[in-house]
Amino acid sequence: MPPAEAMACGCVVVGFDGDAGGEFMRAPGSGFCMPVQNGDMLAMAKAVHHVMSMS
């Protein structure tokens, strides 16, 4: 639930798309999110780097 709450506040969420994460991270109007394939640590690192470079 915390990622959904963060997106509702306009925060960027980077997370794995496995389990329930895939449901709310793909919902239309759910905020800015970057779903990463479950277990792909390199993709997670790249997504975090991308988000950090946006500020």
Q: Which domain holds residue 11?
A: 1-16+40-55
Region at 19 (left for phi over 0; alpha for psi -120 to 50; beta for the rest):
left
Q: Is 35 helix (H, G, I), strand (E, B) or coil?
A: strand
pLDDT at residue 27, rounded to an integer? 55
Domain membership flag for residue 12: yes
- Under 8 Å between Cβ of 33 and 8: no
Domain membership flag for residue 8: yes
How many domains would you assign to the chain? 1
pLDDT tens digits, one per residue of 3-51: 878 878 888 888 887 777 667 666 555 557 777 888 899 999 998 998 8
pLDDT at residue 41, rounded to an integer? 94
CA distance 31 to 14: 11
pLDDT at residue 29, rounded to an integer? 52
